[in-house]
A and B are shown apart, each in its own frame.
Chain A
Amino acid sequence: DSGVTQTPKHLITATGQRVTLRCSPRSGDLSVYWYQQSLDQGLQFLIQYYNGEERAKGNILERFSAQQFPDLHSELNLSSLELGDSALYFCASSVRVMGEQFFGPGTRLTVL
């Protein structure tokens, strides 16, 4: 599959814990985006990286951080987890800074 991949598919953890979500963009795509989809907030943009550098920031909590590595994969780190962080986290990628975004299958995070 040459599309956007995300691991893990599902993650169940407890409040106060820390998790890392991983995203591999499509081959050739330099830009990676993270979105959070929850029942009450809908799809919310979190953060964007382009070729290793942070490009745009959305409604991302201070407890959350991300980075993009030299091989262009990205990780989203969520710490001091709260029940309200339970959501589907999507990664998307695009070739350029601005352009059509291709989405991954998402990681479903459940915080108990």
Chain B
Amino acid sequence: AQRVTQPEKLLSVFKGAPVELKCNYSYSGSPELFWYVQYSRQRLQLLLRHISRESIKGFTADLNKGETSFHLKKPFAQEEDSAMYYCALPGSGTASKLTFGTGTRLQVTL
């Protein structure tokens, strides 16, 4: 069964410090992984997907098939990055549901 694991419930960093939000997955086949972000009192938004290999708001994520990981990284955290971050894996075949990790709350402090 496919599964997404985000081991940290809370990650607290200082402004300007590097950020790494961990995500590990189990999936049979070639996964397409996503990171969603939920700012306070706002809806879930797609932050980035590994297929596009783009950087959004300074965040990047590399799919490591050997380690089955898709960690989210940013070299210098900003206060506005404080939010809940969810790693997600779509279903296999024609099932397009998203399987989410439990989420990590990123808290950026001065």
Contacts and interface: CB of A to CB of B under 8 A. Distances in A.
Interface stretch (A69-77, A78-86, A91-99): A91-99
A58 B2 CA distance: 13
A58 B97 CA distance: 8
A43 B86 contact: yes
A98 B96 contact: yes
Q: Chain A contact residues (Cβ within 8 angstroms of B): what range?
A: 20 to 34
A103 B102 CA distance: 17
Given A42-B102, A43-B86, A43-B103, A31 B96 contact: yes
Interface string A1-18: 001100000000000000
A45 B99 contact: yes
Contacts of B102: 42
Q: Chain B contact residues (Cβ within 8 angstroms of A): what range?
A: 20 to 34
B27 to A, nearest CB: 15
A62 interface: no
A43 B87 CA distance: 11
Interface in A98-112: 98-106
Contacts of B36: 103
B110 to A, nearest CB: 29
A33 interface: yes
Nearest to A42: B102
Contact of A97 (B43, B44, B49, B94): B94
Nearest to B46: A100
B90 interface: yes
Contacts of A4: 43
A58 B47 CA distance: 24
B12 interface: no
A101 B98 contact: yes
A48 interface: yes
Contacts of B68: none
Interface of A: 3-4, 31, 33, 35, 42-45, 48, 55-56, 58, 90, 92, 94, 97-106
